[in-house]
Structure 1
């Protein structure tokens, strides 16, 4: 039985562990080594890699493809550390040894760090500690890279629009039509931006329809000449029901871009694309869908619409704060402060899957949903002049 000498500490540490790198940035750090006993080290080698990988299983074969963005190799040395003729060094217990490293990322387009259902883009640094008559010991550390996508280009600042018209039938009998047109003021957005939608809807069929909008992510994987597509609804908003013979319009209807990765458009085996779907849910028929492509960038698109609205709201609220009106009765207690957490009405959230689209969206007869909540708290004011309670 062979007993190998143990290494107390062997790890990779980046100079800025939280940094997200771009093409051309320099990645720096140290390889830390501590030993339990006197140890001869022949070499400390470094390998930095960036790889896009696609993998899934089909009925007949395993589809696999890789694309390399980065590969850097180096042998590290310590300053002021005596070496033998073969380049090996003697490490002694109780000392902390640091091997510094640094390399630049390629200037060309890099794939943004990404992990999807059938593929990923990963970057890492791996260090190898080599000793005589011992297997090489490894230490690995990941780092994040983002491909710079500027949404302030003329192409992405241009408005986009579209129209959709569909004739409806009921048991093969013509049943009017659904028409809609929608537009947004630009194509490129960043995380946290508000997308303002202008849209017009017309319903001449006999059914009650519901207009909606959603941000959709589309992941495309390519391997062995085959393509795998995965789509996911990220967030959505909805409008009012439109009864037969009526129209509706959206002016300033907005949907916020959630926390998502920038678009990946330059990779040959993996693409991440986004789109804004404006659609109408029709009972007993397929949805009428209008697809407006989006590009999610990594640079700020400037002052978003919500920033200005928040600023105006803040100034409005401050003007009320400055008004010190004597004799103003105290506000009633907040309902959310009194009612227990279990009975609070959740704020509207985006449905990630389409499974709820057909539930209570387009009833034959309009009705208000029933919510079972606790009754509001009793509000009591004390009249200081009459010294009795007024309910």
Structure 2
């Protein structure tokens, strides 16, 4: 299999989760900065990475490995990477979490590419990551768009059921597109953004509001693991390994009732159902449409409210800043009171005028 021809750079629109040819026994680069308790550290490898000692990788504190299974970016057609089975077996034997990724390309349609990927998976187990790497490499000329990407993820779900989907893309390419269907397909974002590319984590990637949140972050191609260097390193949130389903409309497609909050100013379950459905459509909310808001509802709300001046963390804990941003949205829908972050009947009426629109049924 010929090597990729694109020179990768941190600022490039397309980045690849493959590294430069490595040698066994090379000095291991300095480890990543200590992650927060809930974060996991890992790496991704392709047929160019050889000689990685996975037992040593685990001892160094790495917790997952995402392995290139193959791709469809070459004129010869789809292929399986020659090193794929050995990487999976080595990582699995060392007790590491395992993922499998497919490189998108021009030479197979998304549904057919998903079928080829699933048909050639090596030792796939429920809970493994199944990832799509979206970039332009080798003989390919076109970045897969939202429809292509969502088709791939949905077809994989048809084949394997609930799974752990990761959508790999550079933050530059992410910000240049719209990914509504991919969010609705339940794909966790694996964002590529290298910063100084010195082997250390540069901080959270800038999504520019084009995805609800990042689940994993490939932050350098200059790391080291298991006696090999350089390799690509990633940081992942613990929830990045959660099984997901596509986000479907509520109640089998039946429209939601309008909320009386628009008249009485009292928020209740119907208002929150409509809010959850709005957030499902626009902001990647994947929880139930049950009218009982919790951290997932509030996190999706905070993500959406970045469009209305919210600058706080996406932590699912609403406070004054969250509600002030919601009041700004309400002010476009009839609310005339102060933007003080204290929700009252008039604030809820303005917001409910917005949420009662037919498009959120």
- TM-score for the superposition, normalised by structure 1: 0.24
Q: Identify, as 1 or 2, the structure richer in strand.
A: 1
Q: Identify, as 1 or 2, the structure richer in helix.
A: 2
- TM-score for the superposition, normalised by structure 2: 0.25
Structure label with greater radius of gyration: 1
Structure number with higher relative contact order (C-alpha < 8 Å, ≥ 6 residues apart) = 2
